[in-house]
């Protein structure tokens, strides 16, 4: 396959020219009813539930390697495909999928900037036909990259080269919106609500210079290891991808997130 080189965040106009290219596999994470009504031509549908698992009260965990391999194979993804993901509600579901691809070491993938919202508003062609998918044999050998666990964070709470980035709302961060046994945040974490990165009038990411300034003024800089978390690593997956697109070389997600930390009796809380 003659695979084109696409940026980590691709614009609708740029993707339009590659519709039908067999080296590009477009994955739609919209609600099933919306996908059935209209989607980017050739896009395959992925149910968000297929890429997460739970062990209550801990939510938003990764399925095991075998389950992930089966999901990717069902979509027809091969290691040579460039995957472009989108959804209908701001990009967090698509980014969780892209983070998952990073975790398993898939080398080529992008976010459609603005998702289905931008695609429709800019009058790009859609259809309601479900493409014929040729299943692949995608083998996942490791799920160690791009993620950390509770033990890693506990061991690095005083590490000056590491930044914990809490992407929840300010109310969740300060504990007034309590969604676990305990409210608050991981000690030392910096709060940047994930929603601040998006222009909600068009669902696109805000300009690069604005995003850089937003993070750097708070000490979230590219020389640090950045660990993003929220409640279930849904919103923080979006922030993870934003930072990746800004060239941050060492960004990771904490999939257990506050659903694990806030419900654990052995973790410190601010």
Whether residue 95 lies in the annotated active site: no
- The contacts of residue 15 (CB under 8 Å, 6+ apart) are 6, 24, 26, 40, 84, 112
Q: Is the bond preceding residue 166 a cis peptide, omega within 30 degrees?
A: no
Q: Which residues of 242-265 are buried (b: 16+ CB within 10 A; e: fewer)?
A: bbbbbebeebbbbbbbbbbbbbbe
Is residue 78 within 8 Å of 140, Cβ to Cβ?
Answer: no
Distance CA 101, CA 5 (A): 17
From the list 148, 230, 242, 251, the catalytic residue is 230
Instruction: Tell which residue, 97, 80, 81, has the closest CA to residue 28.
Output: 97
Residues annotated as catalytic (active site), given as ranges: 230
């Amino acid at each position: 396959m003659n695979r084109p080189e696409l940026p980590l965040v691709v614009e609708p106009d740029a993707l339009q020219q590659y519709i039908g290219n067999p080296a590009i596999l477009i994955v739609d994470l919209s609600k099933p009813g919306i996908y059935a009504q209209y989607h980017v031509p050739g896009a395959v549908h992925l149910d968000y539930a297929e890429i997460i698992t739970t062990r209550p009260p801990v939510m938003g965990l990764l399925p095991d390697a075998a389950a992930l391999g089966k999901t990717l194979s069902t979509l027809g993804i091969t290691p040579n495909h460039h995957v472009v993901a989108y959804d209908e509600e701001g990009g967090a579901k698509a980014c969780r999928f892209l983070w998952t691809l990073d975790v398993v070491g898939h080398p080529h993938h992008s976010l459609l900037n603005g998702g289905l919202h931008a695609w429709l508003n800019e009058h790009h062609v859609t259809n309601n036909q479900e493409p014929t998918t040729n299943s692949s044999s995608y083998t996942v050998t490791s799920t160690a990259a791009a993620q950390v666990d509770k033990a890693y964070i506990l061991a690095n709470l005083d590490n000056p080269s590491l930044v914990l980035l809490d992407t929840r709302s300010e109310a969740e961060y300060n504990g007034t919106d309590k969604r676990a046994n305990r409210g608050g945040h991981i000690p030392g974490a910096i709060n940047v609500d994930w929603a601040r990165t998006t222009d909600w009038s068009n669902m696109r990411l805000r300009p690069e210079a604005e995003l850089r300034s937003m993070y750097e003024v708070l000490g979230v800089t590219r020389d640090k290891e950045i660990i993003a978390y929220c409640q279930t690593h849904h919103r923080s997956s979006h922030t993870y991808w934003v930072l990746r697109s800004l060239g941050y070389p060492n960004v990771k997600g904490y999939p257990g997130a506050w659903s694990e930390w806030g419900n654990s009796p052995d973790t410190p809380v601010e």
